[in-house]
Structure 1
Amino acid sequence: MIEVLRKRFERFQEIEGLIQQPDVIANTTRYSGLLKERGALIPQANLYRDYAGILKQIADNEELIKSAGGAEDELVELAREELKELQPKAEALREKAQEMLLLDDETSARSCIVEIRAGTGGDEASLFANDLFSIYSYFATRHDLKIEVMDRAESELGGIKSMVFRVDGVNASKWFRYEGGTHRVQRVPATETQGRIHTSAATVAVLPEPEDIDVKVDEKDLEVVAARSGGPGGQNVNKVASKCQILHKPSGIRVECQETKSFHQNRERAMALLRAKLYEVERMRIESERSQTRLAMIGSGDRSEKIRTYNWPQSRCTDHRCKCTITLQNALAGNIDEIITEMRKFEVAERLKEMAKQP
Structure 2
Amino acid sequence: MWQIVRSYSFKPLTLSLLKKLEPYYKQQQLLNDQIMHILTEGKEASQIPRLQIEAASLNDQVNFYTKLKDLTTSIEDLEILAKDETMKEDAQNEINEKVSELEDLEAVAIEILIPKDPDDTSNTLIELRPGVGGSESCLFCDDLLNMYICYAEHHGWDAHTISISRDASTVRGVKEATIKIEGHNSYGRLKYESGVHKVIRIPETEASGRLHSSTASVVVLPEEAPVDFKIDEKDVKIETMRSRGAGGQHVNKTESAIRLTHIPTGITAQCQDERYQHINKEKAWKVLRSRVYALEKQEREQEVQASRKSQKGTGDRSEKIRTYNWPQDRITDHRFGLTMHGIDSMLNGALLDTFIDKAIEVRKNSLIQELIKID
Instruction: Give TM-score scaled by structure 1 length.
Output: 0.72
Which has the larger displacement, 218-227 or 290-299? 290-299
Q: CA deviation at 1:273?
A: 1.0
1:155 to 167, 172, 178: 167
1:108 to 117, 120, 133: 120
Find out whether 1:289 has 2:312 as its counterpart: no
Q: CA deviation at 1:275?
A: 0.5
Find out whether 1:258 has 2:272 as its counterpart: yes
What is the count of residue pairs matched by the alignment?
317
2:202 to 179, 184, 188: 188
Secondary structure of the 1:331 match is helix
Q: How does 1:1-359 map to 2 (within 5 A)?
A: 91=103, 94-95=106-107, 98=110, 101-102=113-114, 104-156=116-168, 157-292=171-306, 296-301=312-317, 303=318, 305-327=319-341, 328-334=343-349, 335-354=351-370, 359=375
Instruction: Confirm or deny: 8 A CA contact 1:309 1:318 kept in the other structure.
Output: yes
Q: Which has the larger radius of gyration?
A: 2
Report what 1:25 is aligned to.
none
The separation in 2 between residues aligned to 1:329 and 1:263, in whole angstroms, is 39
The separation in 2 between residues aligned to 1:173 and 1:128, in whole angstroms, is 22
The separation in 1 between residues aligned to 2:205 and 2:105, in whole angstroms, is 51
Q: CA deviation at 1:272?
A: 0.7
In structure 2, the gaps of 5 or more residues are 1-15, 29-56, 67-86, 88-92
Structure 1's 101 and 231: CA in aligned 2 closer, same or farther, altered over 3 A?
farther
Structure 1's 219 and 140: CA in aligned 2 closer, same or farther, altered over 3 A?
same
RMSD: 4.3
The separation in 2 between residues aligned to 1:178 and 1:212, in whole angstroms, is 20
The separation in 2 between residues aligned to 1:92 and 1:193, in whole angstroms, is 60
Structure 1's 264 and 88: CA in aligned 2 closer, same or farther, altered over 3 A?
farther
The separation in 2 between residues aligned to 1:94 and 1:297, in whole angstroms, is 25
The separation in 2 between residues aligned to 1:307 and 1:290, in whole angstroms, is 22
Secondary structure of the 1:166 match is strand
In structure 1, the gaps of 5 or more residues are 12-40, 53-69, 71-79
Instruction: Give TM-score scaled by structure 2 length.
Output: 0.70
Structure 1's 275 and 356: CA in aligned 2 closer, same or farther, altered over 3 A?
same
Secondary structure of the 1:244 match is strand
